[in-house]
Amino acid sequence: MKCKLVRPSIDLKSQFLDYVKDWENNNEKIVPYSARLLDMNYEEWLENTHKSENKETCPSNFVPAHTYFLTSEDNRIVGAINIRHYLNDHLLKVGGNIGYGVRPSERKKGYASLMLNLGLDIAKEFGINRVLVTCNKTNIASAKTIMKNGGVLENEVLDDGELVQRYWIDN
């Protein structure tokens, strides 16, 4: 599996729109949240994504974060990952430092584990030595991915009626 994490760019527009269609065809919202267009076109989304990387230009209700795409050898986007530089109160409770998602048609192929592993390397470059990763208790595949990457369950918290598991990874 020759995949790599790449920063979003204008060159990936058509691949990203194909990625979005895959989620829509499965009637799912894109995960992580940072990879959703949210009524923007790709160019607007790309500009906002780059603004979110710096404390000075990041929206006030978010923390600085970097979003990456996991691309296959043929540049197909198979997943997205968001690495948050630090945690606010909400992220400490239910969001974590890293959020990731694999397009529905590419699940159960090991991409999530690879993407999280590569994301942990980037988090370390950002100086994040202890990483919080969360998932809904019902998302057994994500829990296995987190544990495979060294995640240790700290606890479970209730968020909007959903039980969220909080895992820490020493990086």
Phi-psi region of 22 (alpha: psi -120 to 50; beta: other; left: phi over 0): alpha
Under the banding of pLDDT at 50, 70 and 90, the label for residue 1 is low
Ramachandran bin of 84, using left for φ above 0, alpha for ψ from -120 to 50, beta for the remaining angles: beta
How confident is residue 59, by pLDDT bands cut at 50, 70 and 90? confident
pLDDT of residue 60: 84
* Residue 22: pLDDT over 80: yes
Contact 141, 75 (CB under 8 A): no
Vertex 71: Cα angle to 68 and 76 (nearest 5): 125
pLDDT tens-place string over residues 133-147:
999 999 999 999 999
